[in-house]
Amino acid sequence: MKRVNSWVTYLQVAPLSLVFLLFLVVPIATIVVVSFFDYSTTQIIPAFLLQNYEELLLSPVTWQTYLQTLQFAVITWVLTLLIGFTIAYYLAFYVRSPTWQTVLFLVCTIPFWTSNIIRMISWIPFLGRNGLMNSALLELGLIQQPLEFLLFSNFAVVLAYVHLYTLFMVVPIFNSMVRIDRSLLEAARDGGASGWQTLWNVILPLCKPGIAIGSIFVVTIVMGDFVTVRLMSGGQTASVGLMMMNAMSLLQYPAAAANAVVLLILVLLTVAVMMRLVDIRKEL
């Protein structure tokens, strides 16, 4: 009987295990293998070389690009955390009606009904040299000449990231907040805690799993992104994802694969640190 139950258990997990194997393990293993191959301008040559990693890790351009990507990830994470926490806090504690909570939450998801590229491009007529922002500031007399940093700059890249990925921070934090027992907040107020003390000592610790999940989403997406950097920086800024895309456009697939492996290791280390600091299993 125990042997039958064991076989039933294996059969139940087999479909998910097969999907996991085919769509995650095999592609990653393929990338790792290809990263050691040699290549020329016209072909990929099966081999086992460390040259791709040596060229990648010994290049100052690589380190500058990784630092730039980390900078984008950190700034985006901070801004999305502040904005996402504020929105989630308002929805969870200031909107009393569950119906209105649902309605306002759906309003936050409306931008996801359109393509990311369309949402990025929509910033161009607003931030351009002759765009709506500069025109309004000139009309008000607040500036004497158009602001050049608004578009095709690091500012535009970060702005697009925050616009695109704040919802990834709102959802898990809001999910954590609505689970908080309101009696804990009443106990904190009865104990003489101020609003900030309640926020810092009660709400924030209980929201750590949601913050960790949102942080993992935002950081991993930003680290691997290349479309936003390409469109919003006007080609003036590089990222790891963009560097890999350029390598693939030149048919340098082993070099791109080596870059992907290094990026994957960096992202996994970042996620591991987050999971060590916060037990996200409480949220799952």
pLDDT at residue 95 is higher than 90: no
CB 242 within 8 Å of CB 231: no
Print the domain residue range for 208: 61-282
Asked if the structure places residue 3 within a domain, the reply is: no
Dump the DSSP string for 169-237: HHHHHHHHHHTS-HHHHHHHHHTT--HHHHIIIIIHHHTHHHHHHHHHHHHHHHHH--HHHHHHSTTS-
Chain segment 43-76, per-residue pLDDT in tens: 888 989 899 999 999 999 999 999 999 999 999 9
Chain segment 137-169, per-residue pLDDT in tens: 888 888 888 888 888 889 999 999 999 999 999
Chain segment 174-214, per-residue pLDDT in tens: 988 888 888 888 888 888 888 888 888 888 988 998 999 99
Q: For residue 96, what is the domain's CATH number?
A: 1.10.3720.10
Instruction: State how far the Cα of 206 lies from the Cα of 215, in Å rounded to an integer.
Output: 15
131 falls in which pLDDT band (50, 70, 90)? confident
pTM: 0.88
Chain segment 212-223, per-residue pLDDT in tens: 999 999 999 999
Characterize the bridge pairing of strands 44-45 and 38-39.
antiparallel
Asked if the structure places residue 208 within a domain, the reply is: yes
Chain segment 262-274, per-residue pLDDT in tens: 999 999 998 888 8
Chain segment 70-94, per-residue pLDDT in tens: 999 999 999 999 999 999 999 888 8
What is the mean pLDDT of the segment spanning 98-118? Answer: 82
Contacts of 24 (CB under 8 A, 6+ apart): none
Asked if the structure places residue 31 within a domain, the reply is: no
Angle at which helix 208-224 crosses helix 154-178, to 10 degrees, equals: 150
Q: What token pair was written down for 196?
A: 């900030």
Instruction: State how far the Cα of 259 lies from the Cα of 272, in Å rounded to an integer.
Output: 20
Contacts of 3 (CB under 8 A, 6+ apart): none
At 120, give phi and psi (nearest 5°).
-70, -45
Map tokens 């007399």 to a residue. 141
Number of domains in the chain: 1
Instruction: State the CB neighbour count (10 A cutoff) for residue 234.
Output: 14
Asked if the structure places residue 35 within a domain, the reply is: no
Q: What token pair was written down for 283?
A: 């949220």
Asked if the structure places residue 56 within a domain, the reply is: no
- Residue 70: is it exposed, middle or buried by C-beta count within 10 angstroms (0-12/13-18/19+)? middle
Asked if the structure places residue 1 within a domain, the reply is: no
Asked if the structure places residue 33 within a domain, the reply is: no
Q: Given this model, what pLDDT does residue 236 score?
A: 82
Asked if the structure places residue 5 within a domain, the reply is: no
